[in-house]
Amino acid sequence: MDTTSSADAGGGFIKPRPGVEHEPTAHLFVANCGPAVGLSLDTIKTVFSTFGPVEAVRPAGDSGTRVVVSFQNPEDAAAAKKALDGKKCDNLQGRVVFMQFSVFQPPSMAEEHLPVMTSSAGCGIPGLVLYPDFISEEEEERLLAAVDQSPWQVLAKRRVQHYGYEFLYKIRNVDLSQKLGELPPFVEEVVTRLSKLPELTKSNEPSLPLDQLTINEYPKGVGLSPHIDTHSAFEGSILSLSLAGSCVMEFRRYSDESKDESRIRIAGDKELGKNQMERRALFLPPRSLLLLSGEARYRWHHYIPHHKIDHVNDEVVERGSKRVSFTFRKVRRGPCKCKFLQDCDSQVAGIPSSPFLSNSESEECSHSDELDVETRPDTSPESSKDDEPNVEVFSKNLPQLETEQAVDEVGKAEETRHQLSRSFSHHTPEIEKQYVHKVYDAIAPHFSSTRFAKWPRVAAFLEACSPGSIIADSGCGNGKYLGLNPSCFFIGCDISPALVAICDQRGHEALVADALHLPYRSGFYDAAISIAVLHHLSNDQRRIRAVEELVRVVRPGGKVLITVWAVEQEDIRLVQKWTPLQGKYTEPWVDDENFKLHMKKSPSASSLDIIQESDGNGERQVDEEGPLVGKRDGEEGGRRDCLRSLSESDEQEISDSSSHPAAAGTTQEPHQEYFVPWHLPYHRAEVTGASVAALASGFARKDDKKGAVVYNRYYHVFAEGELERLTSKVKGALIVDSFYDKSNWCVILQKLQ
């Protein structure tokens, strides 16, 4: 092996271009290398250590086939890359590995890694006990066979069986008057053994007799959102037996203040304080028993992340094809009298079952998987009451099973955004959180199904990039432009985890990131695109910041294409279907937590008030690149877009009489702030718990005529010249082209050499 030091950053995976040197970093992304191809992290570390000290080898993603090797010195990483990249390496079992310097600013180890304990003692949570090998393999086999003889209740992502009492997910409780019967004979032996556990017999609080059993069957990769088993439903300890597959269970304790959802932050263990949470992780092997009592049961949320493989420190453990858990509990008669008041629904009114749910939601429409931070309704008692009939009516019209999945996904989306929020402290204006992020999370799969037409001007820009270019797509949505030029490398990012998940499923490289804080090294990319993103930012400073970020991440000479919706719509009938916001956001955005949304209010109400009450005019869904995308002549896909998104009733509802300044083309200053509706059809699978909660809170509305839940998306549409004015404020780049096309304003910037 060649161990000489070199600053050569090219060759292999990323092709060098004349005049462009990618600065080496200490972090090497290595593909075709990892535990899933028979190379343990230890072996990899040993091999790479021959080039210099290696700080860590971490799995990159869940595939087990890619790792990031972090050297202490970039020169050593460069030497390793030069010696091994694209070559057959005998020490790595003869594999040909491919490398690039890591694009991402590596997070600190403290932030990134939650150590996974293999014994409960390591977790340090009072009342948490793990008994490995609680049952034998034969017993496990027998239990699994017996379970399959009984009918399953099918939830969106997993199957369940209930014995003794049914756990009612809608109310997160049991109905004492509806006893199903005794626990089944096939668990008799296990129950006898459980009942002799000293933790149960000696406990102050009676946990016996165990009279309720929930069996969960999780397919590979499926997890469970964070929750505490309802205090008022079960008394004493909770016992959960793991069969077939393993998983990592995470435990979380939120400080009291963190229940204010807007202030939750994830902290490393060292710096716990107000508004934060503690996390611990424990590996649950098959045939083990987990006992939760006291603080572990009443105070800590338990959570199974959705992963196909678990990283148990240096090992990658593949989850089996399924995991089956038997959770034994004792149904409570009478109120809970625990000392953990902050989480006790018996003692404090309004305690949600998760830090993300208000009480009304958890009772109306959620179960343990159903987390939805952002669909929390107004917490005032009146509004909760008003919501009830709404939810009732809605649930009659919509398939119930679908509820679980989407809310689960929204829960995950939230999880991801919380993690993202660790990396920067800026404050996103509420209007974007509510009317952009939350909406795209809720509509992602449906939105994506309407987004396939590639806009020719964007395609032309991408096709003009020279082979080997690395291209960033900031606000990549469903990833329709990723990979458009097969000779280039694309990395997408979007603020919506739900959309990033779609990119991921399609095999693209994409990550959740904020367009105002791109997690990339400066000067890394050869080109960047921002398609239909800037109009979702709610003030000039934020739009400029997003452009600055695009310019920052491209190399000198690199180009940036930006497109936004135009005020000057070719089809003004569309504009008539939007809801104009009264007033403008006048308060400059400040990049800290003291940001307050200020609006110049109209005499009667604020913009947000108006939106909540607005019934809209009748809507048409439009393509992100511009409302007219469906009408592009001769463009395959565009026509289909059009057919898909326009129903006959849409057409009938277009009225010539209603107009406002933008539509009417008056000499008044054009209107630029709008809510543009998105119709999520009832029949879509993603019309789910997220939508139930959004309707209940008044955030979304029903349109029974169209059979859809209607969400509003915030837009600031651009006036002529505005995009040029904005981008010309960004230092270090020149506008090399600007044009209007299909109701969009567009610029191409070039970073100065």
Ligand X SMILES: O=C(O)CCC(=O)C(=O)O
Q: How far is the CB of 412 from Zn ion (least distance, A)?
A: 27
Backbone φ and ψ for 330, nearest 5 degrees, come out as -115, 125
Tokens of 303: 């959570």
**Whole-number Å distance between alpha carbons of 642 and 629:** 8
In the complex, least distance from residue 329 CB atom to Fe ion, rounded to whole angstroms: 9
Report CA-CA distances (Å) from 97 to 84, 88, 119. Answer: 7, 7, 35
Nearest residue to 298 via CA among 228, 374, 349: 228
Kindly give the pairing relationship between strand 510-512 and strand 489-494.
Answer: parallel
Residue 336 contact, options Zn ion, ligand X, Fe ion, none, Cβ 5-8 Å cut-off depending on partner type = Zn ion
Residue nearest to Fe ion (CB): 229
Least Å distance, CB 216 to ligand X, is 5
231 binds, among Fe ion, ligand X, Zn ion, none (CB under 5 to 8 A by kind): Zn ion
Closest contact distance (angstroms) between CB of 122 and Fe ion is 21
What's the closest the beta carbon of residue 235 comes to Fe ion, in angstroms? 14
> In angstroms, rounded to a whole number, what is the distance separating the alpha carbons of residues 444 and 505?
13
Smaller CB distance to Fe ion: residue 229 or 409?
A: 229
Q: What is the DSSP code (8-state) at residue 86?
A: T
By the criterion CB under 5 A, which residues form the site for Zn ion? 231, 336, 338, 344
Comparing CB distances to ligand X, the nearer of 72 and 321 is 321
Name the β-bridge partners of 47. none
- Least distance between Zn ion and beta carbon 255 (Å): 18
Q: Pick what 240 binds: Zn ion, ligand X, Fe ion, none; C-beta below 5 to 8 Å, kind-dependent.
A: ligand X
Question: What are residue 349's phi and psi, to 5 degrees?
Answer: -65, 140
CB of residue 249 to Fe ion, shortest distance in Å: 10
Q: How far is the CB of 342 from Zn ion (least distance, A)?
A: 10
Beta strands in 195-336 (DSSP E): 212-219, 224-227, 234-243, 247-254, 265-266, 276-284, 289-292, 301-304, 309-312, 315-318, 322-331
Minimum separation from the CB atom of position 234 to Zn ion (A): 10
Instruction: Indicate the residue among 327 and 697 with the shorter CB distance to ligand X.
Output: 327
Minimum Å distance from CB 77 to Zn ion? 52
Residue 298 CB, shortest distance to Zn ion, in Å, is 5
Tokens of 51: 């080039």
Q: Which does 344 bind (CB under 5 to 8 A by kind): Fe ion, Zn ion, ligand X, none?
A: Zn ion
C-beta closer to ligand X: residue 216 or 293: 216
- CA separation, residue 150 to residues 161, 163, 328 (Å): 8, 11, 17
Which of Fe ion, ligand X, Zn ion, none interacts with 214 (beta carbon under 5 to 8 A by kind)? ligand X
Q: Pick the closer one to ligand X by CB: 214 or 362.
A: 214
Nearest-approach distance from CB 342 to Fe ion, in angstroms = 18
Which residue lies nearer to ligand X by CB, 330 or 555? 330
360 or 368: CB nearest ligand X: 368
Task: Give the per-residue contact string, 475-514, with Fe ion (x = CB under 5 A; - = no).
Answer: ----------------------------------------
Q: Spell out the residues 6+ positions from residue 45 whose beta carbon is closer than 8 angstroms to its own.
A: 54, 57, 69
Residue 338 binding: pick among Zn ion, Fe ion, ligand X, none (C-beta 5-8 Å cut-off by kind): Zn ion
- Comparison of 207 and 579: residue with beta carbon closer to Zn ion: 207
Q: Which is nearer to Zn ion, 231 or 573 (CB)?
A: 231
The CA–CA distances, whole Å, from 231 to 31, 209, 340, 343, 675 equal 47, 17, 10, 8, 42
- Mapping DSSP onto H, E and C, the string for 545-584 reads HHHHHHHHHEEEEEEEEEEEEECCCCCHHHHCCCEECCCC
What is the number of the residue whose Cβ is closest to ligand X? 325
The interface region with Fe ion, picked from 221-229, 549-557, 591-599, 661-669 by CB under 5 A, is 221-229
Tokens of residue 615, six digits: 């019934």
Nearer to Fe ion, 336 or 420 (CB): 336
Alpha-carbon span 356 to 358, nearest angstrom: 7
Please identify, using beta-carbon distances, which residue of 229 and 370 lies nearer to Fe ion: 229
Q: What is the dihedral of CA 439, 418, 408, 309, to 10 degrees?
A: 130
DSSP 330: E
Rounded distance, CA 9 to CA 678, Å? 46
**Token pair of 375 as six digits:** 């669909």
**Among 675, 665, 638, 674, CA closest to 720:** 665
Which candidate, 456, 423, 625, places its Cα nearest to that of 535? 625
Q: Which residues bind ligand X (CB under 6 A)?
A: 214, 216, 224, 229, 240, 302, 325, 327, 368
Of the pair 345, 549, the CB lying nearest Zn ion is at 345
Q: Alpha helices, DSSP H only, in 667-720?
A: 689-696
The one of ligand X, Zn ion, Fe ion, none whose footprint includes residue 325, by CB under 5 to 8 A per kind, is ligand X
Q: Per CB under 5 A, which region of 56-64, 227-235, 455-463, 488-496 contacts Fe ion?
A: 227-235
Nearest to 742 by CA among 622, 660, 659: 622
Nearer to ligand X, 199 or 430 (CB): 199
* 369 contacts Fe ion (rule: CB under 5 A): no
Size of the site for Fe ion (CB under 5 A): 1
Q: Report the residue number, 213 or 462, with the smaller CB distance to ligand X.
A: 213
Residue of 76, 229, 343, 432 interacting with Fe ion (CB under 5 A): 229
Residue indicated by tokens 């403008």? 584
Of ligand X, Zn ion, Fe ion, none, which one sits near residue 530, judging by CB under 5 to 8 A according to partner kind? none
Report what 532 binds from Fe ion, Zn ion, ligand X, none; CB cut-off 5-8 Å by kind.
none
Query: Measured from the CB of residue 235, what is the shortest distance to ligand X in angstroms?
Result: 15
Q: Which of 582, 591, 515, 525 is nearest to 553 (CA)?
A: 525
216 binds, among ligand X, Zn ion, Fe ion, none (CB under 5 to 8 A by kind): ligand X
Closest distance to Fe ion from the beta carbon of 234 (Å): 9
Tell me if 28 sits within 8 A of 77, measured CB to CB. Answer: yes
Instruction: Decide: 258 and 206 in contact? Cβ < 8 Å.
Output: no
Contacting positions for Fe ion (CB under 5 A): 229
